[in-house]
Structure 1
Amino acid sequence: MMDDTRLPSEMPYQELETQWLGMLRRFTWNIDGMEREDVLQELRIVLMLAQKKYDPTLGYAFSTYLWRACLNRVGKLLHQTREVKRRVPVRLIFPLCDGEHGGEDRRGYCSTCLGLPKYNDDVEIMELLSNVSQESLMIAGLILRGESTRQSWELRGMNPEQIKEGVAGLKALLKGGRDGKEN
C-alpha cells in the first residue's frame, strides 16, 4: 500500500503512473483519427506535467488537478479532430452479395466475403456513392481497397462491359455529372 502523505512530486514517475493508470484509462475515449494507445500516451504526458506542476498549497487534491487536466486534454483532442475524417461503416458504403447476404441485383459482389478493412473516410462518400450504378460502386470499393487495375477487377468477377460502365459512371461522378442510371 502506498503512503498517502507523499506528494506526487516526491514519487517516481513509474509509481505514480501505476497508481493513476485507472483514471487515465477512463479518459481514453474513442477519438476519430487516433488510436486508443495514442490517447493514453497523451494522458501519460498530462500525468507527467501534472506531477511537475501540482502545487499542494493551493488547497485542492492531486486527483482533482489530474482529473481536470485529463478532461482538458481530451477535450482539446476531440476539438482538433472535429473537422477531420469520420468513421463510416463499410456496410453502408458497399452492397451485399446475391448469395447469403443480399438480393438478386447485387451481382455477386460482397464486402463481407471480400473481408474489406474498415475505412476512416469523410461522410460525404456516402452521398457521392448513393446514386451510382452497381458497377461504379463495385469499382469504387475495389479502388478504396487498393485494387486499381482492370486485371484485379476481372479477378473479382467483373466482366469488361461492367468495368467499362463502372469507370464511365465514376468519371461522370467525378466530373460532377450524373451517372445516368438509377438503381
Structure 2
Amino acid sequence: MDFSQLTDAMASRSYDKVADICDQLMLQIASQGVAFQDEWPYAVHLLGHIYLNDLNSARFLWKSVPVSIKESHPEICAVWKIGQQLWIRNYAGVYDSIRSFNWSAEIQDFIASFTEKYTRRMLELLMSAYSTISIQDTALFLGMNENDATNYVMQQGWNVDAASQMLTVKKQVSVTEQKIDPSKLQRLTEYVFHLEH
C-alpha cells in the first residue's frame, strides 16, 4: 500500500486533508480486493473525520473497524472516545478524553492540532452565545483550569470581574461582504439605459 500522500499530509500538518486521503485510499484498495485491515491507520483515519467535525463519517468508520483491531490497538479506542464526547456535546469530556491517553508519536501533533482547533471553536461558541459567563463555566468549555482560562480569554480582550468571578465577553466584529447578483446588476444597467434613451 502506498501511504505517501497520507504521510506527506501528516508531515505538512495538512490535517484537514487526512480524512479525504484515507477515504480515497480505502476505496481504491477495497476496489482491488486487497485485504488491508491489519495495516490500515485507523486511528489517523478516524481522527481525520473528527478533526473535520464529520461525526457521522467517524461513526460509520468506527463501526467498520474489526473488533480484533479495536482490541489490539487501544489508540483507536482512545480516538473514538473523543468522538463519543463530541457526539453527546460533553465539552469537558472531550478534553478529558484527550488527556487520558498517552498518544503515539505518529498522532501526537495531530491531537495537539485538533485540541487547538477545538478550543478556538469553543471560544467562538462562547463569544456568540454569551455576553457574560462565569470563570468556572469558561474553564469547563475551554478544558483549562480557571486561571489558564481567565488568562486565555483576557488575551482575547475579555474583561474579568474578580469580585463576581464573571467574565465579560468581547464580541467579535463581524464584517459582512455584500455580493451583487450579476442578474440584478444587468437589470439595473438596462433600466438606467432605458431611462437615458
TM-score by length of 1: 0.27
- Identify the structure with bigger relative contact order (alpha carbons < 8 Å, sequence gap 6+): 1
**Based on CA coordinates, which of the two structures has the bigger radius of gyration?**
1
